[in-house]
Amino acid sequence: MIYLDNAASTRLDDEVLTAMMPYLKENYGNAQSQHAAGRASANAVMSARDKIASLAGCKPEEVFFVSGGTEAGNTALKGVCALHKKGHLVLSSIEHASLSESALDMQKLGFEVTFVQPESDGAVRAENIAKAMREDTIFCAVMAANNETGVIQPVEEIGKICRERGVFFYSDCVQTAAYLPLPVGFADGMGFSSHKFYGPKGSGALILRNRNNVLRLISGGMQEMGFRGGTVNTAGIVGTAAAYERACTSRETVNAYVKGLRDKFINRVLTEIAGTRLNGSLEKMLPSIANISFDGCDGENILFLLDLKGVCVSTGAACAAGAVSPSDTLTSMGCGIKEAKSAVRFSFGKHNTEEEVDVAFEALKFAVEKIRNN
Ligand code: PLP
């Protein structure tokens, strides 16, 4: 199998599994328990929190372990709304469903929502976010980079605009946590999932610079400093910290390696297969993602033929796969319906090899020719 869907999920690193194992086998105590087994768990969670805080550049008490990016986004958006009880939200129109659907839920409760479109390069403009803001704006969400195109968003500028206006700014860092530092100096809230960078699924973090700005979503026991009830996932948390540490300490090397593979693939596709277009501006892209449209093809058909050859790719967001409608992200960048439907996302990771890139390219060329000749 050639796995080119690393933006959807990645393979757990052996070292991360090794770090997690003791907390699945020997140290299985509940981190809330008042005995040696509980203390072993609690200490592991405390070290994981310290590690993430020092790598991210924030305080340990600002790091909350959650189940991943979806919970992080829901908690921030709904938690700000719950405190304000009414108001206006500004989101980019290319947010992951965890933010956009949360905003639509809040709209049903009486909050007003404005979605701001990106430009054709895939990035939203800070001035358009500023224009969308109103006196009663309480919350703004712009992701650090888009999951379909990999285009990096101007979060520093947007963060400054939000700060000047006293608007809570959330940046979904699920796709960038491995590749870029977290925007702790510009955002009030940030979230990530460890399975995007060779950690375990169902585990991630929400960083809140001031927890008092957000009402907790999950009430229960005193876990996570009273902010998120429920027995903590000790092994997942240990794995998250181990994976994040590995991502941060190997960032330069991994970024360069993955970019090399991705750029080689893009070059081959754009020069050797006619009628192909890269969606989004390459200069603004994460090193890992290539979203390409293929004239005269349906992305779903390409995915199917590649799957038959053992190559795993995606047509846009994994959570939206199977949906017949074209990607909102691509259409909001100005792609036509046909062009958007013909798009395929290839996402590369550190476990991929050059040879895999070449084999995947040949399979892709064959698939596109087959579809076009039908
Ligand atoms: N945000 C972005 C940008 C994503 O790409 C994803 C997952 O693909 C999520 C949020 C949700 O992450 P999870 O499913 O781990 O909660």
Q: Ligand 1: does its nearest atom lie under 6 Å from the Cβ of 150?
A: no
Is 96 close to ligand 1, i.e. is its CB under 6 Å away?
yes
Look at residue 320 and tell me whether its pLDDT is greater than 80: no
Query: In the predicted model, what is the mean pLDDT of residues 81-105?
Result: 98
Look at residue 322 and tell me whether its pLDDT is greater than 80. Answer: no
The pLDDT of residue 321 is above 90: no
Calculate mean pLDDT across residues 20-43. Answer: 97
pLDDT over 90, % of the chain: 97
Mutate to test the pocket of ligand 1, among 6, 102, 175, 328 (most ligand atoms within 8 A of CB): 175
State the distance from the centre of ligand 1 to the C-alpha of 71, rounded, in angstroms: 9
Average pLDDT over residues 284-302: 97
| Cβ 75 under 6 angstroms from ligand 1 | no
- pLDDT recorded at residue 267: 98
Q: Identify the pLDDT of residue 113.
A: 98
Question: Does the C-beta of 174 come closer than 6 Å to ligand 1?
Answer: yes
Q: How far is the CA of 160 from the centre of ligand 1 (A)?
A: 25
For residue 68 and ligand 1, the question of a CB distance below 6 A is answered with yes
Position 358 pLDDT exceeds 90: yes
Q: How far is CA 355 from CA 8, 32, 208, 332, 360, in A?
A: 22, 49, 42, 35, 9
- Measured from the CB, is residue 147 less than 6 Å from ligand 1? yes
pLDDT of residue 325: 83
Residue 70 CA: nearest ligand 1 atom is: 16
Say how many Å lie between the CA of residue 371 and the centre of ligand 1: 31
pLDDT band at 374 (very low <50, low <70, confident <90, very high): confident
Assess whether pLDDT exceeds 70 at residue 316. no
Distance 74 CA to ligand 1 centre (A): 11
The stretch 322-342 carries a mean pLDDT of 88
The confidence band for 319, taking pLDDT boundaries of 50, 70 and 90, is low
Lowest mean pLDDT of 152-166, 259-273, 315-329, name the range. Answer: 315-329
Active site residue 297: no
Question: If you average pLDDT over every residue of the chain, what do you get?
Answer: 96
Model pLDDT for residues 186-216, shown as the tens digit of each residue:
999 999 999 999 999 999 999 999 999 999 9
Q: Which amino acid is at 124?
A: V
